[in-house]
Structure 1
Amino acid sequence: MQSKLLATLIATGLSAGAFAAPEKFVLDATHTYPSFEVSHLGFSITRGFFKETEGTLELDRAAKTGKLEATIKTTSIETGLDKRDEHLRAKDFFNVAEFPTAVIKVDKFTYNGEQPVKAEGTLTLLGVTKPVALDIKPFKCDMRMGKDYVCGADVTTTIKRTDWGMKTYVPFISDEVRIAVQVEAVKQK
């Protein structure tokens, strides 16, 4: 009986891996930091990051699909200068009193072999939802310190902040913002 099943799988070009279930992960908040870079008057690049992010990831590398949903607490912004952080939390920029989070949802991954290399989804910021395209490089899944099975990556994109209604000081503070996310996600058992 098993030999007939194996012969059928080979004949139809399928592998046992094609039946693997999607893997489910939870973002590791201690190793996931969305950061940004924006030109400041053309003199320098201002950098900052968000200290609090949570979310889930689902990958099916056999089917080459996946989903991601992450919530970034915009209240947790940090640039290294308290006065600037306060201004970035105000209405001119992130307006955290009204919009304390930003949400990214990804529902389409592009793979190279078993490795996702691109993703498409939406970013909701300041109550506005717009499409975003993400580059994923590098991407690695393995045991971390012999304890947990983890997938990690650096994810990047560039957006125009005015698309989400953040217009203060454009063009002096650049409209273009480079976003980079270091992310690690722990597989759920």
Structure 2
Amino acid sequence: MKFLTASAFAALTATAALADPIAYEFDRTHTEINASWIHLGLSRQSIQFTDYEGTLLLDMGTPSNSTVDVTFNLIDGFWVGAHHERFIAHLNSEDLFNTAEFPTAHFVATSFETEDGQTGTMTGDLTLLGNTGPVTLDVTLNGVNEERGLAGFTATTTILRSEWGLGYAVPAISDEIIITINTELELITGDAE
């Protein structure tokens, strides 16, 4: 995800041509993509998305040249805790994600903005259940490990799920969904563990 700032890119790509986007990948052992909601006004519940593939080409000199394109496989791609097979089956049903017809969700970034090199926004298009709409994430660069070619980010946004055709049980189950991404990215050519 193109949240890397000029200073972070300089540290991570000192030997690369500054004008060329650099390929990164998710460190899956240190990435969590979480969506949460309020259930019956009583508690916050959540799911994690566990099966995803992304193209992450980051350009320090010209952020608009960066590419973030992530596809989520929703079939067998949810984690809701132990012993929740019935809930996962409901998530896959026509009430909710309808994965028989729409097995994936897709996010493509369209713009990146930062003023201080540590925080900024990434705006893009989210496609879910055949519906596409804009999403803006607030992004924080948590840190950079130059030696290992790693960078850590947190990104958050709030969406109204009904805008993507996921209106089941609103308002008993909140329409507002908080999406939180905590991730470490690594250079594809790196040897981080």
Please state which band the TM-score falls in when normalised by the shorter chain. Answer: 0.7 to 0.9
Partner residue of 1:132 out of 121, 130, 135: 135
Q: Give the Cα separation in 2 of the matches to 1:141 and 1:46.
A: 31
- Structure 1 segments unaligned to the other structure (5+ residues): 1-16
2:4 aligns with: none
Specify the code of the residue in structure 2 equivalent to 1:137. T
2:151 aligns with: 151
1:87 aligns with: 90
Alignment check: 8 A CA contact 1:69 1:104 kept: yes
- Structure 2 segments unaligned to the other structure (5+ residues): 1-15
Q: Give the Cα separation in 1 of the matches to 2:60 and 2:174.
A: 38
Partner deviation per Cα, 1:63-87 (whole Å, 9 max, x = no partner): 2332201111222112122211211
1:142 aligns with: 145
Specify the code of the residue in structure 1 equivalent to 2:137. L
Local SS of the residue matching 2:101: coil
Q: TM-score, normalized by length of structure 2? A: 0.80
Higher relative contact order (CA 8 A, sep 6+): 2
Q: CA deviation at 1:33?
A: 2.5
Q: TM-score, normalized by length of structure 1? A: 0.81
1:166 aligns with: 166
Local SS of the residue matching 1:174: coil
Aligned-residue RMSD, C-alpha: 2.1
1:33 aligns with: 32
Alignment check: 8 A CA contact 1:33 1:52 kept: no
Q: Give the number of the structure whose residues are more often strand, by fraction.
A: 1
2:78 aligns with: 77
How many pairs does the alignment contain?
A: 170
**Larger Rg belongs to:** 1
1:7 aligns with: none
1:42 aligns with: 41
Q: Give the Cα separation in 1 of the matches to 2:57 and 2:118.
A: 13
